[in-house]
Amino acid sequence: MHKFSKSYVPAWRTALLSVCLTVALSSCGMLSTTTPTASDAAQPETTATSEQTRSADSSSGLTSAASTEGQTESPDGAGETASGSAEAGQTESQNTTASAGNTQTAGKLAYSFSQATLPDSSLATTTDDNNWERWPGTSSLEQSITVDLSAYKGSQQNTQALQGITVIVDPGHGLSDPGAVTTDSAGNQIREADITLPIGLALKDKLEALDATVVMTRTTDSWVSLYSRVAIAGNTVLDFWEQVLTQNGQSTDWTQSLRGDLQTMLDINDDDAASGGRGICQGIGATADLRNLLDAERETSQIIYISVHANTSDSDTTAHGLQTYISTNDSVYASESEAFGEESVDAEYLPVNPNYRNYNDADRTRLAQAIFNGVTGQVPQLLNAAGQAIYTGNYAFLREINLTSVLVETGFISNAEDLAVLTDATSQQQIAQGIADGVYTYFCQN
């Protein structure tokens, strides 16, 4: 049984922060009631409504096990007490670069720089019916960097396939945050964190075999706050921006300023709002600084983010199978606007900033579908024919990072058959291979 840290995780914000909350996250009364309590969040929900689910993208031509049947999982305690050391992911530099006119290349990656501008903050926000401000649906850095991924299309799945691509691999939970916990048939306690790590490490190997650059959010059983994970992704993106800006003789003052913000989050390494660890992500919506970072991330389509988790259901041990989760413009807005509409927003979650709405829903959907197909292709036992491939939710590291990103719920540890798969070393390798297959498909085949 997974436990909430009541003092750290008030209910509705838990829904915004937690991972592995899955369908229960948005279906919950905890988002719609006034003055919700922590106990609300601990109550498992059993049914997904059509608003909370997103069907697989049928236009992709990919098969999916689409159904509206929702699965459940207990919420995660995202705000466990921080302990241990922060482990910042190692950021590898891009491959050697070459210049051809305005277009530079790094391996198969091609990109150009066209505007010597700072983030454009001149576009005014608009206000919704709820009197909540919204950032423009366009990037403040639009087309400053243009990444060209066309060279990947049609590539064979070989040792050069993903040259120039960067994948941030995020094994969920760790150390003081075990994630979901269950007991196997032999009486051994199984922690989600101990399943996500070997799969994540195997995924690193599989992706590197395709020549991708891999940044890990953790490589050991260590504590890394959700907002440290956000910062690791941000720094990876800023590495690329600064490389391009420097190549083009541009100032990196604005990226250096953002790096300072991210370093604060890494240094504090704590999800609790009072700790300051949420940094520029504090509050509802996006501060102007965060918006600049999100827009910078929006332009680096060669960098993606994959978070590996395992699911659980307190109420239904038959619930099983792989699920993928993405955050979309609509899912983030729906969740946060509901929080905004509360009569009394807990001071812990202030300030209220404008809503950000420039996530790339289509690419996120395409990546999630490709990974779903890849994993269920490698490990057919994880295909739940009655389930669906892609769900939406408002997760911290999907909301506060504007890369193409997906949360992979590999299976249910509350289900005996899934648990046997998820704890088997060979199957873990196969799951990782399936995710890597999906990344390959995403960049090279569709």
- Chain residues that interact with Zn ion, rule: CB under 5 A: 19-20, 172, 179, 309
- Closer CB to Zn ion, 394 or 441, in the complex: 394
State the nearest-atom distance from the C-beta of 322 to Zn ion, in Å: 14
First to last CA, the chain: 40
- Closer CB to Zn ion, 78 or 207, in the complex: 78
- Closer CB to Zn ion, 222 or 360, in the complex: 222
State the nearest-atom distance from the C-beta of 312 to Zn ion, in Å: 9
Query: Minimal CA–CA distance to 309: which of 410, 420, 189?
Result: 410
State the nearest-atom distance from the C-beta of 19 to Zn ion, in Å: 5
State the nearest-atom distance from the C-beta of 332 to Zn ion, in Å: 19
Helix locations, 341-445, DSSP H:
361-378, 396-399, 416-422, 425-444
Exposure letters 50-85 (e unless 16+ CB within 10 A, then b) = eebbbebbeeeebebbeeeebbbbbbbbbbbebeee
The CA–CA distances, whole Å, from 98 to 34, 47, 225, 305 equal 57, 53, 37, 26
- Closer CB to Zn ion, 309 or 399, in the complex: 309
- Closer CB to Zn ion, 164 or 411, in the complex: 411
State the nearest-atom distance from the C-beta of 345 to Zn ion, in Å: 26
State the nearest-atom distance from the C-beta of 324 to Zn ion, in Å: 13
- Closer CB to Zn ion, 145 or 230, in the complex: 230
State the nearest-atom distance from the C-beta of 439 to Zn ion, in Å: 20
State the nearest-atom distance from the C-beta of 184 to Zn ion, in Å: 18
Rounded (5°) CA angle 14-323-63: 145
- Closer CB to Zn ion, 65 or 181, in the complex: 181
- Closer CB to Zn ion, 110 or 401, in the complex: 401
**Do residues 435 and 372 touch, judged by C-beta distance below 8 A?**
no
The CA–CA distances, whole Å, from 346 to 38, 133, 441 equal 13, 19, 43
Q: Which two tokens stand for residue 353?
A: 């900033």
- Closer CB to Zn ion, 309 or 320, in the complex: 309
- Closer CB to Zn ion, 212 or 319, in the complex: 319
State the nearest-atom distance from the C-beta of 87 to Zn ion, in Å: 17
Within 155-250, strands assigned E span 166-171, 181-183, 189-191, 213-216
CA 229 to chain centre: 9
| Strands lying side by side in the sheet with 404-412 | 213-216, 166-171, 303-311, 404-412, 323-326, 390-392
Query: Minimal CA–CA distance to 138: which of 308, 329, 397?
Result: 329
Q: Which two tokens stand for residue 43?
A: 């109550």
Rounded (5°) CA angle 301-403-106: 35
Helix locations, 28-166, DSSP H:
38-42
Could you give the count of Cα atoms lying within 13 Å of 260 in the half-sphere of its Cβ?
7
Q: What is the DSSP string of 339-371?
A: HHTSSS--GGG--B-PBP----HHHHHHHHHHH
CA 87 – CA 194 distance, rounded (Å) = 17
Query: Minimal CA–CA distance to 437: which of 379, 365, 388, 370?
Result: 370
State the nearest-atom distance from the C-beta of 409 to Zn ion, in Å: 7
Query: Minimal CA–CA distance to 315: which of 39, 62, 74, 49?
Result: 74
- Closer CB to Zn ion, 230 or 293, in the complex: 230
State the nearest-atom distance from the C-beta of 233 to Zn ion, in Å: 17
